[in-house]
Amino acid sequence: MRIVGGTFNGTGAAVYICIGFIPDYVRMWAVEGSETPFLWYSNQFRGAEIVEGIVGDEASSDVQLTAKTKGAGIVAYEGRDDMTSTNQTSTSYGEGVFLRFDKVTDYKDNASYGYVDAALSAWTLDTSGNCTGHFNDDVPSSGTRIGEGSRILIEETVTHIQKWATIEAVTAGQGEASDEVTLSRAVKSGKILHISGMYSMIPIPVGEVSPEGFKCNLTSVINANDEIQMFEAGCYDN
């Protein structure tokens, strides 16, 4: 069995998630907000009424399930498209029609997208109750890839324990002043070992060829514009 997972920024338009193989199933969640709608797709959904999956969306405290017919949910994508400015209409981070895994996994030392003056090497916990603190430098004011959704690994100075957390908030151009960064847990001050990008997936650059994957035809509830989406995709053993 082969399984991969990741995140991307919702586009509000049909999007190709190019993971390198055609999955037998896809699970997708819209992870911003309290309702967390989901999409479940399997190539074993062989009826025309449900061939592209099931969407679960909360309404009046009950989960409402909606079957997705052809063109309305998930479909296999064989890849091999040449990326041009016509089919890949934007290559800006958090946008794009065709997405692949980000080959840069650590942005703490990245002079273009990670920091302004000095590599991000130190974390200071300012307010434990709020899980807020700051870095040793700001993130860039434009084009930064560090923000809500980034994963950070910190080695605490006092305990020497390495702890992962998710960055819940940091505004572009900030990060160095007290309480400008909010984490998912109160990690004590220490050394920054790793900071990922906000999303696992980035637009495929123009001039490259798209890998295999799947296409998501949904444009609201799931894949709503500028909302973080999580997916898991895999292949069955048989």
Check: CB of residue 219 under 8 Å from CB of residue 166: no
Residues 137-161: what's their mean pLDDT? 97
Alpha carbons within 13 A on the beta-carbon side of 133: 23
Q: Can you give the residue ranges of every domain in the chain?
A: 2-102+201-235, 122-195
Q: Calculate what percentage of the chain has a pLDDT beyond 90.
A: 92
β strands within the chain, DSSP E = 2-9, 15-18, 25-30, 38-42, 54-59, 62-67, 74-77, 98-101, 122-127, 132-135, 151-156, 162-169, 181-183, 190-195, 201-203, 213-216, 228-235
pLDDT single digits (tens) 85-144: 999 999 999 999 999 999 999 999 999 999 999 999 999 999 999 999 999 999 999 999
pLDDT digit string (tens) for 18-46?
999 999 999 999 999 777 899 999 999 99
- What's the confidence (pLDDT) of residue 138? 98
Check residues 1 and 41 and name the one with the higher pLDDT: 41
Question: What pLDDT is stored for residue 173 in this prediction?
Answer: 94
47-95 confidence digits (pLDDT tens)? 999 999 999 987 666 778 999 999 999 999 999 999 999 999 999 999 9
At residue 156, the pLDDT reads: 98
Give the whole-angstrom CA distance, residue 18 versus residue 37: 22
Do 132 and 167 form a contact (C-beta atoms < 8 A)? Answer: no
Rounded to two decimals, what is the model's pTM? 0.94
